[in-house]
Amino acid sequence: MSRSNVARLLVSCRDREGIIATLSEALRDVGANIITSDQFSSDPYGGSFSLRMEFYVPDDAEERLTKLEARLNEIASVLHLDHHLIDARRRKRVALFVSRYDHCLLDLLWRWRSGQLDMDVVAVVSNHPDLQEEVARFGVPYHHIPITPETKAEAEQAELDLLSGEVELIVMARYMQVLSEDFLSRIGCPVINIHHSFLPAFAGAGPYQRAHSRGVKLIGATAHYATQDLDEGPIIEQDVIRVTHRESAAELERIGADVERLVLARAVGWHLQDRILLQGHRTIVF
């Protein structure tokens, strides 16, 4: 089955009777065959309803999807639902932000090159020059935009000039700068961050050192959408690895790096497949 014939429908609304019937009729009427259908309701009477359908369009995809979009607009105005119809033929354009730690960045680039992550990496942005050569090997432009407390506004403006309207996702692959509220509101696309702890434990700086002092027996990582509240955005994925008293804080960091890159890669992959919806502050991962 070729990717060129697959599309996706995301829907959010208040739950009520008949939504699935109405939407699946609309899909049937344009000849679509549902591959996967997932829905979740926080409460079947009056809760928040989220739905994701992935479907196959046999031929004339362009025309059928146009017809479907029109039909969905009619339904949406009646049922008061938010919907997104996504043509899976188009790859999302993504920028990767990084500082000096290379493990998350290289892991994403390697997965991208090997076809695991269905995206176009249009830029790597870094506040350090260190990884320029490494990134060049992947044929991706590297933008070195240094940041100091004094030049932060200016640097973020440079990032906005570069990326605004050009990317549909930013991934902070161990980018050790806090994106300002202003940047997040103006960039106009989701931002995924990897935090090197099992949030909400050890939010903020130095999580491995603090985890070591506290003597935890599991080391974790958390991928989440970045919001203006640092480390408080909706959690996408988390995982942990077992440690003991033997590991120093430096070793926890090394071990944690393996969790970080796995967790971030999963989160990015799910986002690219439009599998993540939001219900308030919680993610629904279909």
Of 97, 270, 263, residue with least CA distance to 174: 97
Stretch that binds its own copies, among 38-46, 65-73, 82-90, 167-175 (CB under 8 A): 38-46
For 274, the 3-state DSSP assignment is coil
Of 202, 190, 186, 176, residue with least CA distance to 227: 190
Q: Which of residues 57-86 bind its own copies (CB under 8 A)?
A: none
Residue 210: DSSP 8-state: H
Phi, psi of 266, deg, nearest 5 = -65, -45
Residue 20 engages its own copies in binding (rule: CB under 8 A): yes
In the complex, the smallest distance separating the C-beta of residue 270 from its own copies, rounded to whole angstroms, is 11
Residue 38 engages its own copies in binding (rule: CB under 8 A): yes
Residue 198 engages its own copies in binding (rule: CB under 8 A): yes
Q: Which of 14, 56, 76, 176 binds its own copies (CB under 8 A)?
A: 56
Report H helices in 80-239.
103-113, 132-136, 152-163, 181-187, 207-214
Q: How far apart are CA 205 and CA 195, in angstroms?
A: 10
Residue 258 engages its own copies in binding (rule: CB under 8 A): yes
Q: For residue 227, which amino acid is it?
A: T
Q: Give 144 or 254: the residue with its C-beta nearer to its own copies.
A: 254
Phi, psi of 267, deg, nearest 5 = -60, -45
Show the tokens assigned to 46: 């009056």
In the complex, the smallest distance separating the C-beta of residue 165 from its own copies, rounded to whole angstroms, is 30
Q: Which of residues 101-130 bind its own copies (CB under 8 A)?
A: 102-103, 106, 110, 114, 116
Round to the nearest angstrom and report the end-to-end CA distance of the chain: 21
Alpha carbons within 13 angstroms on the beta-carbon side of residue 201 total 18
Q: Which of 235, 252, 264, 268 binds its own copies (CB under 8 A)?
A: 235
Please give the positions annotated as active site.
231
In the complex, the smallest distance separating the C-beta of residue 19 from its own copies, rounded to whole angstroms, is 8
In the complex, the smallest distance separating the C-beta of residue 29 from its own copies, rounded to whole angstroms, is 8
Q: Which of 4, 35, 153, 181 binds its own copies (CB under 8 A)?
A: 35
In the complex, the smallest distance separating the C-beta of residue 112 from its own copies, rounded to whole angstroms, is 13
Residue 31 engages its own copies in binding (rule: CB under 8 A): yes
Q: Which of 162, 240, 249, 273 binds its own copies (CB under 8 A)?
A: 240
Residue 200 engages its own copies in binding (rule: CB under 8 A): yes
Q: Give 187 or 235: the residue with its C-beta nearer to its own copies.
A: 235
**Under a CB-based contact definition with an 8 Å cutoff, are residues 55 and 32 in contact?**
yes
Burial track 146-167 (b if 16+ CB lie within 10 A, e otherwise): ebeeeebeebbbbbeebbeeeb
In the complex, the smallest distance separating the C-beta of residue 217 from its own copies, rounded to whole angstroms, is 4
Is the bond preceding residue 200 a cis peptide, omega within 30 degrees?
yes
Phi, psi of 57, deg, nearest 5 = -115, 120
Where along the sequence are the contacts to its own copies (CB under 8 A)? Answer: 1, 15-18, 20-21, 24-25, 27-28, 31-41, 43-45, 56, 102-103, 106, 110, 114, 116, 137, 198-202, 213-218, 220, 234-240, 242, 244-246, 254, 258, 262, 279, 281-285
